[in-house]
Amino acid sequence: MSFAELRENERAKRLMAMGRMAANLAHEIRNPLGSMELYCTLLKRDLAGHPTSLELAEQIHAGIKILDRIINNCLQFARDLVVRPKTLINAEQILKDAAVYMQPACAEASVELLIEDRGDYPIRVDPYLVQQALLNVTLNAVDACRGQDGKTVRIVSDRCSRDEWRLMIRDNGPGISDADQEKVFDPFFTTKQGGTGLGLAIVHSIVSAHGGVVSIDSVLGQGTTVVLQFPVSAQTADANQFTEQQ
Ligand SMILES: Nc1ncnc2c1ncn2[C@@H]1O[C@H](COP(=O)(O)OP(=O)(O)OP(=O)(O)O)[C@@H](O)[C@H]1O
Ligand SMILES: [Mg+2]
């Protein structure tokens, strides 16, 4: 076994152990958290005429929502990824559906979103999971560029060869140091307040479950590019159809 395979093997084992732990924790925390959210909503109603106390209750509610997101991410990360029977779908459709969620996030952060679809073509992936991966990567880019002048997030969808569909997400944000680049796919690595550090770990799982590869390339002060590569060679019948249509 090569060094790279050993490392990947080790990583897979670590992910499994962390996944089990995350699932147990999430399970135990979820129920009391649900009650807290409900009681907080009721409390806020009672405090309608007391602005100072209401503000405190709002803060508690905001904290509960962050915890809820962490728990949901943990559960998502821990559960075995099931790639639903991959339907043949146009790449353009995946981008269009994801844009519905990405546009408001970009607008809110004053970041320009550019989507470049280099030709429409059918691909066989789990559209829900791929959209989720695309959203996680894009929201990271948006977070990195938030509120700064002249920032853009560019998404390029490209069937670069007969065997590969590539989604590239590039931002001109602050970039990531070499040391941190080593860790960004590790579960729970985050530099954000309120971040779970599970976004890119989930992206890695999703792309791997499709037999694909995810890579990151970043230069401090210049920006970050994340590339999701999906193999399409297994789609023989449809790939042939695709080739014939060219
Ligand atoms: N485009 C980017 N530019 C700069 N830093 C990034 C970028 N994408 C990821 N990172 C770094 O990688 C870390 C891990 O990202 P990941 O998506 O796994 O977790 P997160 O974004 O911190 O938390 P969550 O996804 O739960 O919001 C981030 O905290 C950030 O430091
Ligand atoms: Mg993230």
Does residue 141's CB lie within 6 angstroms of at least one atom of ligand 1?
yes
119: number of CA atoms within 13 Å, CB side?
A: 12
Does residue 199's CB lie within 6 angstroms of at least one atom of ligand 1?
yes
Domain boundaries defined on the chain? 3-78, 87-245
Summarised one tens digit per residue, pLDDT across range 133-189 is: 999 999 999 999 998 999 999 999 998 888 889 999 999 999 999 999 999 998 889
Q: How confident is the model at residue 57 (pLDDT cuts 50, 70, 90)?
A: very high
Which CATH superfamily does the domain covering 87-245 fall into? Histidine kinase-like ATPase, C-terminal domain (3.30.565.10)
3-state SS of the chain: helix, strand, coil percent to 5? 55, 20, 25
155 secondary structure, DSSP code: E
Most confident of 83-92, 116-125, 237-246: 116-125
Nearest CA to ligand 1 atom 5: 176
What pTM does this model have?
0.80
